[in-house]
Amino acid sequence: MSQTPAFAGRKFIVFALLATLLVWGLIGLDLWLVERQPPAGTTAPAEEMPLFAVATWEKALVALGVLLSLSMIQACRQLYLRSRQGEAQLAMHSRLVDHTSEAMLVTDGAQRIVSVNAAFEQITGYGPGEVIGRTPTMLSAGHHGLAMHRTVWDMVAESGFWQGEIWDRRKDGTLYPKQLRITAISEPGQPASHFVAVFTDVSEQKAQAERFDYLALHDPLTNLPNRLALDSHLHAVLDGAVPGIDRLALLIIDLDNFKTINDSLGHHAGDRLLAEIARRLSGHMSKHRQLFRLGGDEFVVVIDHLLNEAAVVDLVQAMVRSMGEAYEIDGHVWRSTPSIGISLYPEDGRDGQALIRNADTAMYYAKANGRNNYQFFAEPMNAAANKRLHTESELWRALAENQLVLHYQPQIDLLAGKVVGVEALVRWRHPQRGLIAPAEFIPVAEACGLILPLGHWVLLTACRQARAWRDAGIDMGEMAVNISAHQFQQPQFAQAVQAVLAETGVVAERLELEITESSIMHGVDAAIQTMAQLRAMGVKLAIDDFGTGYSSLAYLRRFPLDRLKIDRSFLADVDTDADAAALLTSIVQLGRSLGLQLVAEGVESFAQAEFLRTLECERVQGFHFYQPVSAEEVVGRVGGLLPLPA
Ligand code: C2E
Ligand code: MG
Ligand code: MG
């Protein structure tokens, strides 16, 4: 058994004390005997005997006694000093224990609490007087906690150590999780004499971890579970799903024209709309219908335990109805409609990714079908989506390999009877498919971002052509170029136009940009600024396809414009239908009242041209006069000064 130094020191003192007492006892006994029986033949009394007359062994005995006494005094002094040191150390330890933030509890071998520290009282609410003498199970959370406590303490009794997390109850009744470590104190081969439990309250860390988990899986704006949560939900519901028995539907809901509210009322209003939509959609959810926000204006609903498609249709119709009701946002009444794509498990996909992809394709179709409707996924959609992808990759090559060409369609001043300009219209000279019309590839270019380099190429090529004609002494009037919304909304658009004019040497007044209503209705202030910059340079601005967008003539008053190009749909039947004629008349009159020049596009017949002449609509463009053709052909046909075909 190992001994502590203090214990060994104490033993030594007892031994030294006994030895000293023995030695001094012997000396005393010897002196007493000498006094009682003086040695025979001596006359001097014992007390007068000189010390040197004392026997040698007696001297040795006295010296030993002195030596032993001195060493005993020294040992006592050492012991005293050591015990003082021990006390100071103990006091320091107890202060440390009291100041540590970890709660400590010490029990005896029978698991009765013998001491606790200050942190214990702070965490549990129990003072030492309330717990000393009782067992730690008094801290347990309740019935289950008690069983757990017993198991834990039994394990400590068996193995000497336990560590883990358990839930306990404070004095005020609240539950809290704690990280606990219990160690048994014992001599080898002996049962534990004490147990020391050290614990910390981890409720704050746990709450924080839960908050992090929540944030990682939820969208802060709507509080809906996010894309990550969708992935794990799909994983969970599809994991045990049996094709042919379990059915599931995935709906992607995309808002129509969400950008408009953001652009016209600001992002704050857009956020309010999204939050309100989330609230309305949540009203249709249940245990087997869960709503997620994918980001932007896209929501997803997953229906598991699906019985039939009719149930999906019922839900979709109910959601469309409640989403379609008016929204009151920052004092504005707003309407919003959704386009919804639906995919079904197992027929449209066996895993989450396939279901999302196909619902997305179906949603794209719903949008193309005039928005505010829903579409179930169908396999041919994928073929079309693939074709779109194929066109996209081919189009990049087309731009790099100069497969794009411009055709020009003249515009005529009806009153003066001469060509006053040309509109540049892009075509794709495909190596296998021949000449492809812009309607087939411009939307693809717009969707994939290719419209920016493509649009720049068109502007530069058209301006170079204008310059080439001028250099050749051919007067084609103004050059009109179509600008897509994405291109127009580039922050440096006006500067890019100026650079092209500078590079080609074309006079700004000879360039007309045709922009669409959607270009200027999204982000009105920025649009007005860009338009003002262009106007200041001298560039002319026209609204293309007027009447097909959602702008009103009164609204157009705010924009610095030169011309309106009336969409060709307004020209149909004007020569035979009185209503159509009245509508076109009022458009021309209203446009004129705004101080704008009018251009009628798509004039296909003499009768239409005549009607426009009576309305004094000065400019016209259409197959009745000229088809769009290449630069060389247009010169040949117009001939610069040739008489116009009637
Ligand atoms: P848009 O700007 O309204 O161009 C007029 C379209 O009407 C042209 O079709 C033209 O060929 C056609 N058109 C002209 N006269 C008549 C007519 O009498 N009857 C009929 N039915 N059609 C007529 P195109 O060239 O196929 O262009 C279609 C659209 O593609 C253009 O409509 C324009 O929005 C867009 N586009 C064409 N080139 C470009 C371009 O370089 N950039 C951009 N962003 N869009 C372009
Ligand atoms: Mg145009
Ligand atoms: Mg047009």
Average pLDDT value for residue range 282-288: 96
Indicate if 162 and 249 belong to the same structural domain: no
Alpha carbons 317 and 544: distance in angstroms, whole number: 36
Residue minimizing CA distance to atom 35 of ligand 1: 438
Q: Which residues line ligand 1 (CB under 6 A)?
A: 409, 425-426, 437-439, 442, 455, 458, 482, 484, 514, 544-545, 568, 601-604, 621-623, 628
- Alpha carbon distance 450, 192 (integer Å): 79
301: in domain: yes
Cα separation, 632 vs 646, whole angstroms: 22
Question: Could you tell me if 57 and 163 lie in one domain?
Answer: no
Ligand 1 closest atom vs CA 624? 18
Q: How far apart are CA 349 and CA 241, in angstroms?
A: 12
Task: Please write the tens of the pLDDT for every residue from 190-237.
Answer: 888 999 999 999 999 999 988 888 999 999 999 999 999 999 999 999
Has residue 342 been placed in a domain?
yes
- Summarised one tens digit per residue, pLDDT across range 352-386 is 999 999 999 999 888 877 777 899 999 888 777 77
Question: Position 276: which residue type?
Answer: E
CA 172 to ligand 1 center in whole angstroms: 79
Residue 303 has pLDDT above 80, yes or no: yes
| Candidate ranges 22-36, 149-163, 355-369; pick with highest mean pLDDT | 355-369
The reply to whether 162 and 59 lie within a common domain is no
Answer yes or no: do 285 and 411 share one domain. Answer: no
3-class SS of residue 560: coil
Q: Mutate which of 395, 428, 463, 482 to test ligand 1's pocket (most atoms within 8 Å of Cβ)?
A: 482
Amino acid at 180: L
Share of the chain above pLDDT 90, in %: 57
In this prediction, residue 551 has a pLDDT band, given cuts at 50, 70 and 90, of: low
* Nearest atom in ligand 1 to 565's CA: 3
Which has more pLDDT, 80 or 426?
426
Residue 152 has pLDDT above 70, yes or no: yes
- The verdict on 351 and 404 lying in the same domain is no
Residue 552 belongs to what domain range? Answer: 390-637
- What pLDDT digit, counting tens, does each position of 387-445 carry? 877 888 899 899 989 999 999 999 999 988 899 999 999 999 999 899 999 999 998 89
Helix segments in 218-351, DSSP class H: 227-239, 258-265, 267-282, 309-324
Summarised one tens digit per residue, pLDDT across range 111-138 is 899 999 999 999 999 999 999 999 988 8
pLDDT value of residue 553: 62
The backbone region for 425, taken as left when phi is positive above 0, alpha when psi lies in -120 to 50, beta otherwise, is beta
Same domain, 309 and 244: yes
Residue 644 has pLDDT above 70, yes or no: no
The first and second tokens of residue 387, run together, are: 């074709």
pLDDT digits (tens, 9 = 90+) for 579-605: 999 999 998 998 888 899 999 999 999
Q: Which long-range contacts (CB under 8 A, 24 or more apart) does 321-325 make?
A: 322/280, 322/281, 322/283, 322/284, 323/277, 323/280, 323/281, 324/372, 325/280
Give me ligand 3 centre to Cα 566, in Å: 7
Question: Is residue 552 domain-resident?
Answer: yes
Given 325, 344, 378, the domain boundary residue is: 378
384 within some domain: no
Please report the atom of ligand 1 found closest to the CA of residue 483: 44
Would you say how long the chain is, in residues?
Answer: 646
- Which of 96, 118, 136 corresponds to the end of one domain? 96
Work out how many domains the chain is built from and give that number: 4
Query: Which position has the higher pLDDT, 251 or 22?
Result: 251
Last residue of a domain, one of 146, 169, 203: 203
Q: Say if CB 68 and CB 16 are below 8 A apart.
A: yes
- Is the pLDDT score of 465 beyond 80? yes
Q: Name the β-bridge partners of 171.
A: none
Residue 526 in domain: yes
Is residue 245 within 8 A of residue 307, CB to CB? The reply is no
What CATH number is given to the structural domain containing 336?
3.30.70.270
Q: Are 86 and 126 in a shared domain?
A: no
Assign 3-state DSSP to the chain and report helix, strand, coil percentages, each to 5.
50, 20, 25
DSSP letter assigned to residue 477: -
Residue 263 has pLDDT above 50, yes or no: yes
The confidence score (pLDDT) of residue 455 equals 97
Compute the C-alpha angle 465/466/469, nearest 5°: 85
Please tell me whether residues 336 and 460 are part of one structural domain: no
> Is 292 contained in some domain?
yes
3 state DSSP class of 194: strand
pTM for this model (two decimals): 0.54
Most confident of 153-162, 341-350, 631-640: 341-350
Side chain identity at 131, as an amino acid letter?
A: V
Asked if pLDDT for residue 276 goes beyond 80, the answer is yes
Are 450 and 501 in a shared domain? Answer: yes
Q: Are residues 608 and 462 in the same domain?
A: yes
Residues 577 and 454 in one domain: yes
Closest CA to 506 of 543, 541, 544, 461: 461
Give the confidence band of 39 by pLDDT, cuts at 50, 70, 90. low
Kindly state the tokens that stand for 98.
């009291």
